[in-house]
Amino acid sequence: MKLTPQQTEKTHISSLLDEAYACRTYNLKRSTELAAQALASSRNLNESCLIAKSLSHSALFSMILGEYDQALEMSAESIRLYETLGDEKGIADAKYNIAGVHYKTNNYHLGLVNLVDCINTYRKFNDHHNLARSHKSLGTIYEYFGDEKNAITAYEDSIFSAKQVGDLNLEANAYNPLSGIYLKQHDIEKAAVLIERSLEIKKQTGDVRGLAFAYYGRGKVYIAQKRFDEAEEDLTASVKIHLEMGETLGLGMAYHKLASLYVAMHKLDQAKIELEKGLEFSTVYHLSMVKFKCYHLFYEIYKLEGDPIKALNSLELYLKERESVINAQTLKVIENYDLINKMEAVKKEAQLQLEKAEIIEKKNIAEQTAIVKQEFLSTMSHEIRTPLNAVITISSLLADRPDKEEQELINALRFASNSLLLLINDILDFTKLEAGKANFELRPTNFRLLLDNIKKTYDSLAREKGLRLNFRIDAHVAKSYDMDENKIAQILGNLITNAIKFTYFGDIEVLVEKTNSVDYEDSLRFTVNDTGIGIPPAYLQDIFESFSQPQSITTRKQGGSGLGLAIVKKLVVLHGSDVFVKSKEGLGSSFYFEIKFKRTDVPDKVLSKYSDNLDGRTVLLAEDNVINAMVIGKLLKNWKIKVELAKNGLEAVAKSKQGAFNFILMDIHMPEMDGFQATKAIITDTANPNHKTPIFALTADVTAEYQSEYHSYFNGFLRKPVEIDKLYDALLSTNAV
């Protein structure tokens, strides 16, 4: 039967789109041109289905080329058309493009949400081609946040789906990052086998874009094998192809890795040239992940060159860039992890098709959500706080440097790193409060001294903005109360910080008044007044909700985690009270609350003196992070303690059998065997000379001390970044022989 002219044109448009998609792997320019032709022809025909498909294809190519605004605009129009047509799979295709834009520009929570929607839809239609693509992207998000276990699962799911449809290119796409994970785990042989398989496939299929990523992956393997000349050849080839194809993220990664190679080869000038390219490129295309990696490598280079000023500047830029990513994303990703559990529920429900199984699975979803959030919080706290431990401790050890210029840089570094730590603590504390795991640590506290310390802490922050920070304490307020001073400091600190943030001239005033007294208990009213921009009346009822700042008062320059007032509310409620606010736009705000405290005698001030009380003692330090091991070792040696280092849990157990130590400091997250299992092995082996030695968990994982099955193994939990006084006092208190 002869086709009508309209049917012929539809067939032609479909052919254009098929060809555009097929040639994306070796000629993106051609793909873009063909998709544009298809879109123009579809609009002329006024065929909604073809217009939507053409827009979705064009958005995909724009996303790959780094034209993110255009990709989002086209995807949004495509979704509107597909919704009108009732085409679920078409909507998923457009959402895949949106997800790609978001995770490439560090909006990981939005990437996660869209990918989960895509995967659920593609499962419904048994679309293994697109399942392979989506699982690979999901693995990338997991990997970035250090969740290697789930990343491996996602990449393996991608490979499985690719094999179901016989798509070698999609199969090879997952081999690349999977090889990288095995490389991080020091399984070089396995990494090499996977990347060679990927290269073989890419050469076989003619996937030029994919070949660039495969060269990049093999270049990393060659660096690990110290085959530097071959690594340089592969990474240079990767850069060349990415430049020709217009691939943005891949090019930024290749520049950074090439610079890393030159550092390993001691060609520091060449390394800096490549890093400058990487920085410029990542700035233009908003690739923060590449950007802060470049800053960190500059820091390493300047250290090697013996230039401490430039090294510290680069380290501060690294911390600032990383903070911007953490600030914007971390908690949102935690909140959206339950979507992954829902995705798994859909998968199992599709397999079982039984009402009873569906009810059981829903119950499991709630339990798994809590587990995933806990595991993710554990990973994030460890991965973020571990490098911070080195930064803060090193800056403390350098605090007495005589050079004035160096001292100013060190002070700036300490301020930046402490700011980042406060931000992270806000996120972690909020999570603990949400989970109901926050407890009081009541002790006699010199209340007036505490208030004085709080004023000193925030006075410089106020003066930097030209503000005055004033404290007024009622004469009837006692000198000492039984309280959790850290939580009171956190409440007032968040309120003062918030006041400073939104005040541009005038005063911040903190009032503390005694309103009532019964027996040995006083009711104290705390008020924090400011002369800031005020809060709109319509927003006052939501002011203590997390992530609910109105657009009228929110700008990038205010920064912060967005959790300060939510934490204040939860901490005041934890004290059995409530917090209130009065505000007038343009005139300022007043936050106030009342808490009851029991009066106590003024506690004696015990100063931690780093004397020779620990001279000659021995410690087994189990720490896999080289920098942290060096920093903590230096600190212990300052106290004349002899240090024996174990680089993982297995080595710690082996060294504990060789002789008795006075103390053991045990990191929790380590390769080969974690700190929990290593400690269990030591204390349960009665033949081990250290089975009764005091063991302290020294960890960046804030969830470690809540794992009750291991709690009795340790004499205490010491967090990273290391609080030097607490570490010293803990060791001194054991009176180990």
pLDDT of residue 351 exceeding 60 = no
Report the C-alpha gap between 695 and 713 in whole angstroms.
8
Backbone angles phi, psi at 622, to 5 degrees: -100, 110
pLDDT score recorded for residue 104: 79
Out of 304-313, 452-461, 545-554, 654-663, the most confident range is 654-663
pLDDT of residue 391 exceeding 50 = yes
Amino acid at 394: I
Burial class (CB in 10 A: 0-12, 13-18, 19+), 397: middle
- CB contact at 8 A, 700 and 425: no
Of 3.30.70.250, 3.40.50.300, 3.30.420.40, 3.40.50.2300, the CATH number of 618-733 is: 3.40.50.2300
- Which residue ranges make up each domain of the chain? 1-86, 345-433, 443-599, 618-733
Structure tokens at 565: 């007032």
Higher pLDDT, 141 or 215: 215
Pairing of strands 443-446, 588-599: unpaired
Third-level CATH fold of 1-86: 1.25.40
Structure tokens at 387: 């490098």
* Least confidently predicted of 55-59, 66-70, 186-190, 728-732: 728-732
Burial class (CB in 10 A: 0-12, 13-18, 19+), 418: middle
Q: Which residues pair with 664 in a beta bridge?
A: 620, 695
259 — pLDDT class (breaks 50, 70, 90): very high
Residues of the chain with pLDDT > 70, as a percent, come to 77
Burial class (CB in 10 A: 0-12, 13-18, 19+), 153: middle
Q: Which residues pair with 507 in a beta bridge?
A: 468
Q: Where are the alpha helices (DSSP H) in 399-525?
A: 404-434, 447-464, 485-501
Q: 3-state class of 588 per DSSP? A: strand
CATH of domain 443-599: 3.30.565.10
Report the C-alpha gap between 390 and 722 in whole angstroms.
9
Structure tokens at 509: 């005033």
pLDDT of residue 342 exceeding 80 = no
Residues of the chain with pLDDT > 90, as a percent, come to 42
pLDDT of residue 105 exceeding 70 = yes
pLDDT score recorded for residue 611: 60
521 — pLDDT class (breaks 50, 70, 90): very high
pLDDT score recorded for residue 426: 59
Average pLDDT over residues 363-375: 55
pLDDT of residue 337 exceeding 60 = no
Average pLDDT over residues 115-133: 90
Report the C-alpha gap between 72 and 616 in whole angstroms.
64
* Least confidently predicted of 256-260, 343-347, 530-534: 343-347
Residue 699 CB neighbour total at 10 angstroms: 26
Which residue matches tokens 């010293």? 728
pLDDT score recorded for residue 132: 94
* Least confidently predicted of 15-19, 282-286, 312-316, 403-407: 403-407
Helix axes 268-284, 288-304, angle to 10 degrees: 160
Which run of H or of E encompasses 512?
strand 507-518
pLDDT of residue 727 exceeding 90 = no
Average pLDDT over residues 648-670: 92
- 34-87 pLDDT per residue, tens: 999 999 999 999 999 999 999 999 999 998 888 889 999 999 999 999 999 999
- CB contact at 8 A, 232 and 258: yes
Report the C-alpha gap between 545 and 706 in whole angstroms.
26
CATH of domain 345-433: 1.10.287.130
pLDDT of residue 338 exceeding 60 = no
608 — pLDDT class (breaks 50, 70, 90): very low
- 670-690 pLDDT per residue, tens: 878 888 899 999 999 999 999
Backbone angles phi, psi at 594, to 5 degrees: -125, 140
pLDDT score recorded for residue 406: 64
